[in-house]
Structure 1
Amino acid sequence: MNRIATLSIFIENKDSINKVNHILSEYSEIIISRMGIPYREKRISVIVLIIDGSNENIGALSGKIGNLNGVSVKTAMKK
C-alpha cells in the first residue's frame, strides 16, 4: 500500500549534492513534487519532496540520503 509523505533534505556539504541528485533520480517514479532552495547566506541547500510510495521505498530513499556526509533528512508520513 502506498503512502503520501514529505521529505525535507538539508545539505550542508556541497560535495554531497550530486550524490543526493543521483539518489533522487533512482526514486523519480515516486516523487510527485520537488522544491530546492540554495540558502547561500547560511551555506545550506534545502530540498523538499512530496512522494507517493510504499513504506519500503520511502524508508530506503530516506535512509540512503540520510547516510550521506553532511546531509540530514526528516520524513513525515500521512496517517
Structure 2
Amino acid sequence: MEKRIAILGIVVFDREASAEVNRLLHEYGEHIIGRMGIPREGCSIITVVMEGANDTINALSGKLGRLKNVQVKSMMAK
C-alpha cells in the first residue's frame, strides 16, 4: 500500500480521556513521525504527524474521534 503523510489535530476537553488518547497514540507509534502537545485551561491540544497507509491513518483518527470529550480532524498530503 502507498504511504501518505498526515497531520492529526486532536483536542481533548477532559483530562480523563488523556489516558485513552495516549494509549491509542502508543499503539500507532510506529507510524508517528512527530507529536506536539499544548496544555491549556479547559482543553489540551495535540498535533500528530504520521506516515502510513490510508487505512491506518483513518483507523487511528476514527478511534480517537469516538472517544468522549475528544475531537479530531485529519489532513492528508496527496
Q: TM-score range by the shorter chain?
A: over 0.9
- Secondary structure of the 1:68 match is coil
Cα distance per residue 1:8-35 (max 9 Å; x no partner): 0000021100000000000000000000
- Secondary structure of the 1:69 match is coil
Q: Which residue identity lines up with residue 36 of structure 2 in the other structure?
A: M
Following the alignment from structure 2 to structure 1, what is the Cα–Cα distance between the partners of residues 12 and 48? 14
Following the alignment from structure 2 to structure 1, what is the Cα–Cα distance between the partners of residues 45 and 66? 16
2:17 alignment partner in structure 1: 16
Give the TM-score normalised by the residue count of structure 1: 0.95
1:70 alignment partner in structure 2: 69
Q: Quote the sequence identity (%).
A: 45
| Matched ranges for 1:1-79 at <5 A | 1-40=2-41, 43-79=42-78
Please report the RMSD computed on the Cα atoms of aligned residues, expressed in angstroms.
0.5
Give the TM-score normalised by the residue count of structure 2: 0.97
Q: Which runs of 5+ in 1 are unaligned?
A: none
| Aligned residue pair count | 77
Cα distance per residue 1:40-72 (max 9 Å; x no partner): 2xx100000110000000000000000000000
4+ residue stretches of structure 1 with deviation over 4 A? none
